[in-house]
Structure 1
Amino acid sequence: MSLKDDALQDIVSLAKHNQISLAEIALALEAHTRQPNQEESGSVLSKLFGYIGGIFVFAGIGVFISMYWDDFSSASRVIVTLGTGLMAFVMGLICVADSKYERAATPLFLISSVLQPTGIMVMLQEYSSGGDVRHGLLFMAAYMLVQQGATFWAKQRTVLAFGAILFGCIFFANLFDIWDINEKLIGMVIGSSLLCIAYAINKSKHMAISPFWYFVGAILLLWSIFESVENTLLEPLYLGATAFTIFLSTYVRSRTLLLVGTITMLLYIGYYTAEHFADTVGWPIALVMIGIALIGLSALAVRLNNQYIK
C-alpha cells in the first residue's frame, strides 16, 4: 500500500469519526488555498505566545509560593495551591467558551492540573490526623479523574483527555497497591490498558497524545514482563514480548512502538550475552553476533517503518 493510499485511509477515518461531509472538506481546502500562509503563521504565533505566557504565569506562582511558604498558615498554603488551581481551571472553562480566548485554555488547564493535586495533598497534610498516605493519594486521583474526565466529555479538549488518563493511572495503581496486588501484575495491567487507550485515541481527533501513551504503556508492560521472568526458565519469553511489540507497531502503525520494541530487543540481547557469555572464550564471537544483530534489526526497523507505518 502506498503512502498516498495510507493518507487517504486516515482522511476517511477522521471524516467518518467527526461526521465531516465532502462539501465541508472542499470548502476547507478552498479556503486554505486562498490564504495559506498568513493564518497559519498567525496561528503558530498565537499558540507560541499562549504557551510562553502560561509558563511565565506558572513560574511566577511557583516563585511566589516558594518565597513565602514558611510564612503561610495552613489555610494560606491550601488557598495559594488548591485555590489558585481551581481558579485556573475555571478560567480555562471560560476561555473555552469564548473563541477569542480559546487558545489560552490549554495552558490554564495544564497549570490547574499541577496546582490542584498539589493543593489537595497540602490540604491533607495540613489537616489530616494521620493514616495511610496512599488513601490521600487515592482521594486526590479520584477527584482529578472525575473532574478531568467529566470536563473532557463536555468540552472535548485534548489536554483534558491527557489529564484524565494520567490521573486514572495514578488512581488504579494506588487502588491495586492498597489491595496488595503484585506490583508486576499492576504494571502489566496498566501497561496493557494504556496501549488499548492509545490505540483508541489514535483513531480520534486527539491523536496528538497517542505516541506518548504508546511509549509509557509499552515501557511499563515490557518492564513488568522482564521483572516477572528475570533469572527464570521463562526469561526468553521477554524476547518474544519485544518481538510482539514490533509486530504490533506495524498493525497500529506506530513509530513509537517500533522504536520501543527495537530498543528493548537490542538491550535484552546485550544483557543476555553479557550475563551468560562474558567470562567465556565465545564472548568476542558474541560481540560480533550482537553487532550483526544490531545492523539487522536497524535495517528491519527502517524497512517496517517505510513499508507499514509511514
Structure 2
Amino acid sequence: MIAFLVFLIIILLLGGAIWWPILAGMLGITNITDKASAVHQITQLIERYDISLNEIDTALQTPANSILDNRSRGDILRTLLAYLGGIFILAGISTYIGMFWDSIGTTMRILTTLGVGYSLLMMLLLALHKATLPRFVLPLTLAAATMMTGGWFVLIHELYPLGDNEQVAALSVFALMVLHQWGVFFKYRPTSMLFTGLFFSYGFLSLSLDLLEVPSDYIAIVLGTSIFLIGSALEKTSHRVLAEPALLIGTCWLNGGLFERVMMLTSINWASLVIGLCIIFTAYGMQRSGRYQRLIVLGYLFGSIMAYSGLFDLLQNTAIELVYLAIAAMGLYVCVALQSRILLLTTVVAMLGFIVYFSEQHFANAIGWPATLVLIGIAFLGIGAIAIKLKQRI
C-alpha cells in the first residue's frame, strides 16, 4: 500500500490544477451536466418548496437587482450597525465575565449570565411580537439559549457548590430550557426556536435514558430513528429548512447505535460492512425520492468506504480474497446504474487498492504481472469502446 500512496502523491503533484476540477466532478458536487438534468433539478425544487407557476412567472418578470434596489442604504446601514452593536455588547459581557469572574460575588455571577440570558429572551420576544425585525430572531435565539443555559448551570453551582451529580444538574437545566423553547415556539412559531427546542428535548431524553441505565446503543437507535422521522415530517411544513439537518443527524445517530450493537454481537468488520450497506440503502432511498442531493453524496461516500473496508478485512488472507475484486467489479455496474460519481470514485479506489495489495503479496518479484495488468486494462477499454458503438447502432 505504501507504493500506491506514493503513486497517488505523485499524480496529485504532477496534475496540479488540472486534477482538482476532475476530482470535484467525480465527487458529484453537482449532477447538472445537461439540459435534462437542469430541468429535473428545477422540478425537484418546485415540488420541495411548493412553488406555483404564477410565482415563477412573477420571478422571471422581476429584474434580478430589484430586490436589492428595494432596500435603501439606510436599511442596510441600520442592519449593519445593529449586528455590530450586538457583537460588541456580547464581547464586552464575555470580557467582563472572564476578567472579574473570580473577584465578583455569587449575585453578580448569576446576573451576568442568567440575567443577561433573560434580557436577551425579552428582546427576542419583543422582536417576535412586533414582527418587524425578522433578521434578529436567529441570533437572539442562539444568544439567549446559550446565556440562559450557562446561567442556570452557574446558579446551580453557586447554590449547591458541593454537589457532584452533574447528570441531574444537566437534566434539570435541559428540562427548564425545554419549557422555555417550546413555550415561545407554540406562541410565535419561529423556526430557530424549533431548532433549539428539539436540541434541548433530545438532550433531556438522552440524559433521562442514560440515568435509567438504558444501553447507549439502544438510546442512539431509538432517538436516531425518532429524529429521522421528525425530519421526514418537517419536509411538509414551513420549517422544512430543518429537515435536511434532522435527517443527517438521525441517520448518523441511528447507524452509530446499530454499528455498536452489531459490533458487540459479531465483530467490527461485520459491523462496518453491514452498517455501510445500510447507509448506502438510505442514500438510495433518498435518490429514488429525488431529494437532498448532498445527503445522497455523503451517504454513498461514507457507506461505500465502510462497506469496502469491512469486506476487505473479512476476506483478507483467506482462500477467497479474490471475491473482493469480483464484488468491487459488480459495484461498477451499480455505479453506472445509479449514476453516482462518488460511488464510482470509491469503487475504483477499492479496486486499485486491492490490485496493488494483491500484487505486493503474491507477485512482488514477477516482471510479467504489471504487463499482464496493462493488457487486461487495454482489453477492457476495447470492450467498452465496442459496447458503446453497438449501443449507438442499436
TM-score by length of 1: 0.79
Q: Does 1:116 align with 2:154?
A: no
Q: Which shifted more, 164-173 or 197-206?
A: 197-206
In structure 2, the residue matched to 1:155 is: 188
Percent identity over the alignment is: 22
In structure 1, the residue matched to 2:278 is: 241
Residues 258 and 11 (structure 1 numbering): CA distance in 2 closer, same or farther, change over 3 Å? closer
In structure 2, the residue matched to 1:19 is: none
Give the deviation of 1:181 after TM superposition: 0.8
Give the deviation of 1:198 after TM superposition: 1.4
Q: Does 1:253 align with 2:291?
A: yes
In structure 2, the residue matched to 1:126 is: 158
Residue type at the aligned position of 1:98: K
Residues 206 and 51 (structure 1 numbering): CA distance in 2 closer, same or farther, change over 3 Å? farther
TM-score by length of 2: 0.64
Deviations 1:53-72 (A, max 9, x none): 54444333222211111112
Give the deviation of 1:155 after TM superposition: 1.1
> Equivalents in 1 of 2:302, 2:104: separation in Å?
48
How many aligned positions are there?
297
Residue type at the aligned position of 1:242: I
In structure 2, the residue matched to 1:308 is: none
Give the deviation of 1:221 after TM superposition: 0.9
In structure 1, the residue matched to 2:70 is: 39
Q: How is 1:7-18 mapped onto 2 (pairs within 5 angstroms)? A: 7-12=45-50
State whether residues 113 and 163 of structure 1, in contact with CA within 8 Å, keep that contact through their aligned partners in structure 2: yes
State whether residues 218 and 260 of structure 1, in contact with CA within 8 Å, keep that contact through their aligned partners in structure 2: no
State whether residues 217 and 257 of structure 2, in contact with CA within 8 Å, keep that contact through their aligned partners in structure 1: yes
Give the deviation of 1:294 after TM superposition: 8.2
In structure 2, the residue matched to 1:75 is: 107
Q: CA RMSD in A?
A: 3.8
> Equivalents in 1 of 2:76, 2:99: separation in Å?
35
> Equivalents in 1 of 2:81, 2:337: separation in Å?
41
Structure 1 residue matching 2:198: 3-state secondary structure: helix
In structure 1, the residue matched to 2:125 is: 93
Residue type at the aligned position of 2:136: A
Give the deviation of 1:131 after TM superposition: 5.2
Residues 161 and 276 (structure 1 numbering): CA distance in 2 closer, same or farther, change over 3 Å? same
Residue type at the aligned position of 2:97: I
Residues 47 and 291 (structure 1 numbering): CA distance in 2 closer, same or farther, change over 3 Å? farther
In structure 2, the residue matched to 1:184 is: 217
> Equivalents in 1 of 2:330, 2:83: separation in Å?
45
Q: Which shifted more, 153-162 or 194-203?
A: 194-203
> Equivalents in 1 of 2:326, 2:215: separation in Å?
39
| Alignment counterpart, residue 134 of structure 2, candidates 102, 113, 134 | 102
Unaligned runs of 5+ in 2: 1-38, 343-394
Deviations 1:117-138 (A, max 9, x none): 1111111112125252211111
Highest CA radius of gyration, 1 or 2?
Answer: 2
Q: Which shifted more, 253-262 or 286-295?
A: 286-295
In structure 1, the residue matched to 2:387 is: none
> Equivalents in 1 of 2:171, 2:189: separation in Å?
25
Residues 277 and 64 (structure 1 numbering): CA distance in 2 closer, same or farther, change over 3 Å? farther
Q: Does 1:165 align with 2:198?
A: yes
> Equivalents in 1 of 2:337, 2:128: separation in Å?
46
